Amino acid sequence: MREGQTVDKPWPRILLIEDDLGDTDRIAHALQDHFHGVHIMVAATGQEACQPDLTQFDAVLLNIDLPDCTGLDVLRHIFAHHDLPVLMVTRHCDGDSVATAVRSGACDYIVKQGGYLTVLPVLVEKALVMGELKDQNKRLQQTLRRRNEQLQQVNGQLESSNRLLRQMAERDPLTGLSNRRHFDELLDRRRAEAQRYQHDLACMMIDVDNFKQINDRLGHKAGDRILVLVAGILRAQLRAADLPARYGGDEFVVLLPHSTAMDACTLARRIADQFRHDVAQIVPDSLSCSLSIGIHAVHADRLATASEWIEKADQAMLEAKQSGKGCVVLSADPGSHSVPAPSRSVG
């Protein structure tokens, strides 16, 4: 009796497919002597063998020679419906038939000669053990597949969480642009690329004029709307290769690879003009709100350190504010000059 088998439940349950009544009785007695709880169902033809529910059996003893078909036909029917250990029984050792049966999935065979009835129960027990091991292996594989699927799902959730955490660590929560820390991390990389490939690089510092007064007069929600507006204009006006970021408070910074001073000034005018037009929906005419923009643009062979580069763009932006606000100032070596924004001219 196998582990966990109760006395009340017959075991093993054998389907004996045998047309010789004498052999049927002898095989049944041999199995009953060996397995005290055995239950045997007999089918004398292939047609009868195809009737019962195969899931109700633990093993099959199948005669290769049947009156209405071959044992190989029945073997194919069995494996088409259920995976059972099948032991082939034959009176004559037909090597081709036996080999075909084993290749088709039969676990073993026995020839009805000599003391085969002594060996038969042992082979049946071996087949049962092999079947049980096969079932256990299937269950383990199914469990492994389920756990792998669960692991893949957890890994997918973990990757999504990590992406979200990275975005939270790299993005400004209000505007969705890169934050200052992430911008600083990318700045040296973009600067190194410019030096390696010898292309122009420009940096733009942007400040919202009179932002504190507007916040005080209209409230922080209006101030937030203005900052979101700036971010939206930057996304719309910039190229995919450009890098905008909220640098702090009401200040924004934009990195412009492959951009000359003229390219950066033209872009700054478009940004300032778009902002002047769109901010009117948020700020009344009685309050002045514009953008002061400072630009520092150099060729790769004149690149200073990243901090010096940002500092020059910041100084140019301060000059823009000191020049009356709402204008663009280009920092050049040596000196700087002011470029009026389209919204106003600087005298």
Q: Where in the sequence numbering do the catalytic residues fall?
A: 250
Instruction: Identify the burial level of 49 via C-beta atoms within 10 angstroms of its C-beta, where 0-12 means exposed, 13-18 middle and 19 or more buried.
Output: buried
Which residues are CB-contacts of 287 (< 8 A; sequence separation ≥ 6)?
A: 210, 213, 214, 217, 218
Q: Retrieve residue 91's tokens.
A: 């009176």
Report the amino acid identity of residue 139. R
The secondary structure of 200-246 as a DSSP string is -EEEEEEEETTHHHHHHHH-HHHHHHHHHHHHHHHHHHS-TT-EEEE
Q: How many angstroms separate the CA atoms of 289 and 307, rounded? A: 29
Number of other CB atoms surrounding residue 205 within 10 Å = 26
Number of other CB atoms surrounding residue 279 within 10 Å = 21
* Residue appearing with tokens 């009340």: 8
Identify the sign of the CA torsion 223, 229, 234, 235: positive
Report the amino acid identity of residue 258. H
Which residues are CB-contacts of 145 (< 8 A; sequence separation ≥ 6)?
A: none
Q: How many angstroms separate the CA atoms of 117 and 114, rounded? A: 8
Q: How many angstroms separate the CA atoms of 205 and 311, rounded? A: 9
The pairing of strands 201-208 and 291-298 is antiparallel
The pairing of strands 251-257 and 243-248 is antiparallel
Largest Cα–Cα separation, the chain:
122
